[in-house]
Copies of this chain bind each other. A is one copy, B any other.
Amino acid sequence: MGNQELLDGVKKASSMGPWMHGLLERLFPLCRSLTGPGNRETLSILSDYMELSVTEVPSGTDVFGWTVPDEWSPISAEITGPNGEVYANFADHNLHLVSSSQPIDMEIDLDELKEHIYSLPNNPDLIPYVTSYYAPRWGFCMRDKDKQNMQPGLYRARIDTKIKPGGLVYGEAVLEGETDKEILLSTYICHPSMAADNLAGVVLSAAIYKLLSRLKKRHYTYRFLFVPETIGAMCWLKNNETSKAVKNMHAGLVLSCVGINDQLIYEKSRQGNTELDRIAELVIGKTDIIEDFRPQQGSDERQFCSPGFNLPVGALMRMLPGWEFYHTSGDTPEQLTPEILASSLQATWKLLVGHEANEKRYVRTDLRGEPMLSKHGLYSTINIADKNEEKMRARKEHVSLMYLLNYADGEHDLVEIAKKCDADLLELGALAERLVDVGLLQ
Stretch in A24-32, A85-93, A157-165, A301-309 with 4+ CB within 8 Å of B: A301-309
Pair B382/A295 contact, Cβ less than 8 Å: no
A367 at the interface (CB under 8 A from B): yes
CA distance A205 to B403 in the complex (A): 29
Interface residues on A, range: 35 or more
Stretch in A38-46, A59-67, A180-188 with 4+ CB within 8 Å of B: A59-67
Pair A306/B65 contact, Cβ less than 8 Å: no
Assess A303 versus B369: contact at CB under 8 Å? Given A128-B384, A385-B327, A386-B120. Answer: yes
Over the window 122-148 of chain A, the binary record of Cβ atoms lying under 8 Å from chain B Cβ atoms (1 yes, 0 no) is 100000111111110100000000000
Pair A384/B237 contact, Cβ less than 8 Å: no
A383 at the interface (CB under 8 A from B): yes
Q: A387: which B residues are within 8 A, CB to CB?
A: 322
CA distance A409 to B310 in the complex (A): 10
A366 at the interface (CB under 8 A from B): yes
Q: A234: which B residues are within 8 A, CB to CB?
A: 368-370
Pair A64/B368 contact, Cβ less than 8 Å: yes
* Chain A residues packing against B (C-beta within 8 Å): 63-66, 118, 120, 122, 128-135, 137, 230, 233-234, 237-238, 241, 270, 292, 295-296, 302-303, 305-310, 322, 326-328, 364, 366-372, 374-375, 381-387, 398-399, 401-403, 405-409, 420-421
Contact of A296 among B308, B371, B386, B402 (CB under 8 A): B402
Assess A368 versus B237: contact at CB under 8 Å? Given A65-B375, A128-B385, A131-B382. Answer: yes
Pair B381/A135 contact, Cβ less than 8 Å: yes
Given contacts A132-B383, A306-B406, 7 further A-B contacts (CB under 8 A): A65-B369, A66-B369, A134-B381, A296-B403, A305-B406, A307-B409, A308-B367
Pair B367/A130 contact, Cβ less than 8 Å: no
Assess A308 versus B65: contact at CB under 8 Å? Given A118-B384, A295-B405, A326-B385. Answer: no
Assess A369 versus B63: contact at CB under 8 Å? Given A295-B403, A385-B326, A399-B296. Answer: yes
- Say how far A96's CB is from chain B's closest CB, in angstroms: 14
Pair B367/A134 contact, Cβ less than 8 Å: no
CA distance A122 to B388 in the complex (A): 11
Pair B302/A370 contact, Cβ less than 8 Å: yes
Q: Which 3 A-B pairs have the closest CB atoms?
A: A308-B367, A135-B381, A307-B409
Q: Can you pick out 9 interface pairs between chain A and chain B where the beta carbons lie within 8 Å of each other? A: A132-B381, A132-B383, A135-B382, A237-B368, A296-B403, A296-B421, A302-B406, A306-B406, A309-B368
Pair B402/A295 contact, Cβ less than 8 Å: yes
CA distance A403 to B368 in the complex (A): 43
